[in-house]
């Protein structure tokens, strides 16, 4: 009889699960409309489930018009919160506490007279939110090659987008260190992404078949699938449990399951149930 094992870290992280819970709680007392500022999670089935429970997505506070506005885990600039409040919206701030930590670090560095460098992806919503706390002369640097494109003050303070890798941070810090007189680094990387990759790699190294759940356009899910594929050739990347075919499981003793960051726990459970049902058939 084959066994099923879910990677010890898989699917939506603490911050995303928390934001989902806060949005659903807001919708459970529907005295007024509930909107999230942008899709809460990049997962079409979760977004449509939220819509069915009365939680719609608005691109701007103006679009929400009235009612409750949920700020997603990525966080926003203080100006966006002020705009929502001025419009009379009730703001529920579901910014991940680890992202809040980046906001606080950036604000403190700026107050202490450092020019803030944000290591991250230019234009990403989390980075846009961090910039709003980082002072007017803050800049975004995506990698070590990007460092030479800016001019810097004598004192520079570094914070990092939570999903960046330690390798990128240390390469940027190395390139900056020779350009400025004083460099202060606050490592604000969240370990959730690296932990999921390590757990997927460990399980894929033992499993006969790996199932990776998550959007085909989701960069972090595709990366998980690549990691699994390199250790377990019978890796399948699916978006939903009903895609699984019984032939995938034939002869397998251990079936591993993992999931990208936009996959809530329920979808992992549904996948486990589907695998069990196919094994029993």
Kindly list the residues in this chain that would bind ligand F3S in the complex (CB under 6 A): 13-16, 73, 96, 98-99, 162-163, 190, 192
- At its nearest, how many Å lie between ligand F3S and the CB of residue 165? 13
Q: Which residue is nearest to ligand F3S (CB)?
A: 15
Whose structure tokens read 């939110």? 129
Least Å from the CB of residue 96 to ligand F3S? 3
Catalytic residue flag (residue 243): no
CA distances from 83 to 14, 155, 177, 200 (A): 28, 32, 38, 41
CA distance 103 to 29: 30
| Pairing of the two strands 182-185 and 254-259 | unpaired
Residue 92 sits at φ, ψ, to 5 deg, of -105, 115
CB-nearer residue toward ligand F3S: 98 or 114: 98
For residue 127, give both structure tokens. Answer: 């980075």
Q: Which of 5, 86, 111, 126 is catalytic?
A: 126
**Which residue, 190 or 255, has its beta carbon nearer to ligand F3S?**
190
Number of H helices, E strands in the chain: 11, 12
Which residue number, 15 or 215, has a Cβ lying nearer to ligand F3S? 15
d(Cα 275, Cα 244) in Å, to the nearest integer? 8
In the complex, the smallest distance separating the C-beta of residue 47 from ligand F3S, rounded to whole angstroms, is 17
118 vs 241 by CB, closer to ligand F3S = 118
- The Cα–Cα gap between 274 and 245 comes to 10
**Residue closer to ligand F3S (CB basis): 192 or 259:** 192
Cβ atoms within 10 A of the Cβ of 176, count? 20
Alpha helices for 12-132 (secondary structure H): 14-28, 44-52, 61-64, 78-86, 97-111, 125-131
Q: Minimum distance from CB of 189 to ligand F3S (Å)?
A: 9
Least distance in Å: CB of 160 to ligand F3S? 11
Rounded Cα–Cα distance for residues 262 and 74 (Å): 13
Active site residues: 126
């Amino acid at each position: 009889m084959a066994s099923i094992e879910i990677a010890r870290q898989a699917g939506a992280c603490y911050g995303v699960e928390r934001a989902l819970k806060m949005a659903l709680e807001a919708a459970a007392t529907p005295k007024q409309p509930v909107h999230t500022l942008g899709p809460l999670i990049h997962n079409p089935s979760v977004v449509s489930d939220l819509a069915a429970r009365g939680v719609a997505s608005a691109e701007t506070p103006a679009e929400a018009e009235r009612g409750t506005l949920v700020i997603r885990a990525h966080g926003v600039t203080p100006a966006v919160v002020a705009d929502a409040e001025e419009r009379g919206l009730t703001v529920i701030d579901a910014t991940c506490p680890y992202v809040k930590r980046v906001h606080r670090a950036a604000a403190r560095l700026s107050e202490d007279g450092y020019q803030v460098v944000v290591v991250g992806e230019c234009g990403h919503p989390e980075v846009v939110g961090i910039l709003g706390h980082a002072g007017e002369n803050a800049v975004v640097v995506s990698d070590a090659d990007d460092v030479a494109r800016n001019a810097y003050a004598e004192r520079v303070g570094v914070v990092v987008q939570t999903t960046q890798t330690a390798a990128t941070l240390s390469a940027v810090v190395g390139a900056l260190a020779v350009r400025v007189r004083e460099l202060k680094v606050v490592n604000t990387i969240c370990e959730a992404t690296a932990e999921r990759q390590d757990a997927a790699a460990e399980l894929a190294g033992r499993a006969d078949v790996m199932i990776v759940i998550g959007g085909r356009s989701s960069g972090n899910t595709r990366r998980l699938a690549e990691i699994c594929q390199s250790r377990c050739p019978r890796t399948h990347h699916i978006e939903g449990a009903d895609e699984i075919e019984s032939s995938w499981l034939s002869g397998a003793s251990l079936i591993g399951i993992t999931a990208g960051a936009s996959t809530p726990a329920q979808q992992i459970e549904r996948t486990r149930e589907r695998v069990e049902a196919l094994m029993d058939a």
